[in-house]
Amino acid sequence: MVKVGIIGATGYAGAEIVRLLMGHKDAEIVWYGSRSFIDQKYSDIYGNMFKLVDAKCMDDNMDELAKAVDVIFTATPQGLCASLVNDDILSKVKIIDLSADFRLKDVKIYEQWYKLEHKSPQYIEEAVYGLCEINRGKIKNARILANPGCYTTTSILTAYPLVKEGLIDPNTLIVDALSGVSGAGRGAKIANLYCEVNESAKPYGVANHRHTPEIEEQLGYAAGKEIRINFTPHLAPMNRGILATEYATLVKKDGKLPTYEEVRAAYEKYYANEKFIRLLDKDVYPETRWVETSNFVDIGFKIDERTGRIIMMGALDNLVKGAAGQAVQNMNIMFGLPEDEGLMFAPCFP
């Protein structure tokens, strides 16, 4: 039985980790960490856990937590995990960090985009980027795991096979993505109030969203070179979900565009055996409602022969595959457990 501690257990992503691990036969939560709700019953904060979780919330003392558990999930704002982790902790426990503290390999880029001084840059190089379908081999032996976020997971997985196989010019990639409001976290913000969000949709972080360099870095590894993309996120009036629509110029071979079958073969090459990636049939496109509350990613595409471009589309649940589900999937890989343990359930609809 893997003993689990969660720092940030009362945020949306932390609460989703709790929900998922309730159905995990090989994991036990022993520490519900929450600086804001110390000594309060967890079920008083989340009523859905009434008579399911009797524990009280504890603090975020990572040194003490490392003595009690095998793995720590940090579902916290940027900067906290980096300020807490040290050599002694990493000698005792594995860390799965849901923030961006260890996702980017260049500390200067992190500090530029997140406007924070990195408190433990010495661990950046060893941290493994936890995109399970791409980095599974590295994840197995990781001590510190940088769990990708929702926008990046969708954007990268949707384009990765075509970048890797050289079927698109990655420097022409444009990503437009919609997110549910839960992606902004549980903190009270005027921009996320019901009347501000309902019956409206808006772009934000235009040309400067902090997930841009993360998408560029990971797809750059696939391309074998540095790339530059346009990424524009949008807030949509829904609780959950990410829908990314991506556009890129196809690379011609002998003067001809790749066919549907060739593009499909590229996706099949990388994802045919991936349990949590569902490649949709021809002319069927992803919808957030068909992945809600699940760990699945739905991917579809359409070749536009008139423009020589391809439209790639991906959808996932931002709190599951985009956060907590991917974190649990990473934990399973790190501890040699079945990768789908605690995660194999159908999406919820309606």
> CB neighbours of 78 closer than 8 A, spacing ≥ 6?
99, 100, 101, 114, 116
CATH number of the structural domain spanning residue 32 = 3.40.50.720
Q: 329 and 301 share a domain? A: no
Would residue 203 count as lying in a domain? yes
Domain that holds residue 105: 2-147+321-334
Q: 106 and 210 share a domain? A: no
Strands of 46-129, DSSP E: 71-74, 94-97, 128-129
Give the single-character DSSP code of 345. -
Average pLDDT score over residue span 245-250: 98
pLDDT tens digits, one per residue of 100-156: 999 999 999 999 999 999 999 999 999 999 999 999 999 999 999 999 999 999 999
Asked if 136 contacts 114 with a C-beta cutoff of 8 angstroms, the reply is no
Q: 234 and 118 share a domain? A: no
The residues pairing with 95 across neighbouring beta strands, listed in sequence order, are 72, 144
Task: Tell me what pLDDT residue 186 has.
Answer: 87
Find where tokens 């990268």 sit. 156
pLDDT-derived band at 247 (thresholds 50, 70, 90) equals very high
Q: 41 and 155 share a domain? A: no
Minimum mean pLDDT range among 66-70, 191-195, 266-270? 191-195
pLDDT tens digits, one per residue of 303-333: 999 999 999 999 999 999 999 999 999 999 9
Say what percent of the chain tops pLDDT 70. 100
Average pLDDT score over residue span 91-105: 98
Asked if 177 contacts 155 with a C-beta cutoff of 8 angstroms, the reply is yes
Average pLDDT score over residue span 91-102: 98
CATH number of the structural domain spanning residue 283 = 3.30.360.10
- Is residue 70 scored above 90 in pLDDT? yes
Task: Tell me what pLDDT residue 238 has.
Answer: 96
Q: 184 and 295 share a domain? A: yes
Would residue 133 count as lying in a domain? yes
Find where tokens 């493994």 sit. 128
Rg of the Cα atoms in the chain: 20
Task: Tell me what pLDDT residue 95 has.
Answer: 98
- Is residue 187 scored above 90 in pLDDT? no
Would residue 349 count as lying in a domain? no
Say what percent of the chain tops pLDDT 90. 97
Q: 125 and 169 share a domain? A: no
Q: Is residue 150 annotated as a catalytic residue, yes or no?
A: yes
CA distance 77 to 100: 8
pTM of the predicted structure, to 2 decimals: 0.97
pLDDT tens digits, one per residue of 27-59: 999 999 999 999 999 999 999 999 999 999 999
Distance, first Cα to last Cα, the chain: 34
pLDDT-derived band at 181 (thresholds 50, 70, 90) equals very high
Active-site pick, 57, 150, 195, 348: 150
Q: 126 and 238 share a domain? A: no
CA distance 3 to 93: 10
- Is residue 189 scored above 90 in pLDDT? no
Q: What is the mean pLDDT of the chain?
A: 97
Instruction: Say if strands 144-146 and 94-97 run parallel, antiparallel, or are unpaired.
Output: parallel
Number of structural domains found in the chain: 2
